[in-house]
Amino acid sequence: LTTVHIESAAKLPLRGNLQADTSYKRVRKRGTDVLVTGRPEQGYFIDIFLGSPAQKFSVVVDTGSSNFAIAGSSDVGIVKYFNSKLSTTFKGKPDKSIKVQYFNGTWQGYFATDIFKFCKTCASDSVDVALITSSSNFFVSPTLWQGILGLGYKNLIQPKPDEADTVLDTLSSKGAVTQIFSIELCGRENQDTTQLNGVLELDATAGTEDGYQYTDIVKQWYYQIELTDLAVDGKSAVDIKSAVKDCYEFNKPHAIIDSGTTNIMLPTVVYWSVLASIEPFSYNATNITPDDSKDTVTQEEIKSFILRNDTLCKEDLQSVIFSWFPEIVISIAYNKTHQSQLTFLHSNT
């Protein structure tokens, strides 16, 4: 495979019919930018507008699901919810109930339709929305968002794909947006050190002249892609020669891009291989301490962290605590003959 290197902050568009063809060089046309905010324990979320007159809410942007849902009544942790009685375009469907279970948390409610737009000046149209009437471990308390915007394919609509349409499908069918979007999770100027600022770019045209790289969607449900390697300090975490044809070990049962979680989840074999590759670097971490701190971290504490026996959190040490961490490179299929590499580096600042 020929390798195409990408910076760790590279943008990876998640929709569109463009195949990963290295000969494709059309200049992209930028679309509408919507601010993405990321905060610890809260995830990544954007502001949206729902109803007539419009009510403003923050919703998690989730490429790992497809339902659009908003709090429709008071719930634990939330400070506001959508008041359907104030919207002249609201059409409730209380007989169409829905319950959605995520990896963590669940909510239930009923379907409705109302006018939606991504920003005050953006095009709007009536979309399917679920009003959340109750939940369990779904809203973070106290939460900075009041709902979730699923950006996945229609096949993931709960409880069944024919129950509703996704926001993106609805708006694109009416010509309000294109089927191409990208999510940049960080990198935008930000004065608040407790959060990250990025951008959700909508309604762009495809092209590779703007630092974007593309990868084929293997299956249109989640954004399922194909991983070709995962290397720790330049060495593959799994012996490629012993891996099953077509990088099976890295894609068992499938590899997906999910903006609704900040974890990198790996197949069992790959996971333990990665931990084994990282562990030797912890020997360099004994008694790490900045000059102005009396706090230290020992090798035993780091090993316990690697084996997931304990957390590794020392306020005084800040990012210095991970200065020993090796470079990790994830390789993604670019097309049948090329691969792209995403590099994750530790930071000492």
What tokens appear for 93 in the block?
A: 């469907």
> Active site includes 62?
yes
Rounded Cα distance between 23 and 27, Å, is 12
Q: Nearest Cα to 87, choosing from 110, 114, 122?
A: 114
Q: What are phi and psi of 139, to 5 degrees?
A: -80, 130
Q: Sorting pLDDT into bands at 50, 70 and 90, what band is 333?
A: confident
Q: Model confidence over 235-287: pLDDT tens digits?
A: 887 775 555 455 778 888 889 999 988 778 888 888 888 888 887 877 666 55
Which residue among the candidates 62, 114, 165, 203 is catalytic per the annotation? 62
d(CA 348, CA 345): 10
Helix (H, G, I), strand (E, B) or coil at 333: strand
pLDDT band at 192 (very low <50, low <70, confident <90, very high): confident
d(CA 227, CA 332): 5
pTM of the predicted model as reported, rounded to 2 decimal places? 0.81
Which residues make beta-bridge pairs with 109?
98, 132
Q: Which of 210, 194, 260 is nearest to 46 (CA)?
A: 260
Between 13 and 233, the higher pLDDT residue? 233
- Cα(219)–Cα(61) distance, rounded to whole angstroms? 20
Model confidence pLDDT, tens digit, residues 167-188: 999 999 988 888 888 888 877 7
Q: Does residue 209 register a pLDDT over 80?
A: no
Catalytic annotation, pick one of 125, 169, 216, 258: 258
Is residue 258 part of the annotated active site? The answer reads yes
Mean pLDDT value across residues 145-163: 95
- Highest average pLDDT, of 25-39, 49-63, 239-253, comes from 49-63
Residue-wise pLDDT tens digits, 107-145: 999 999 999 999 988 889 999 999 999 999 999 878 899
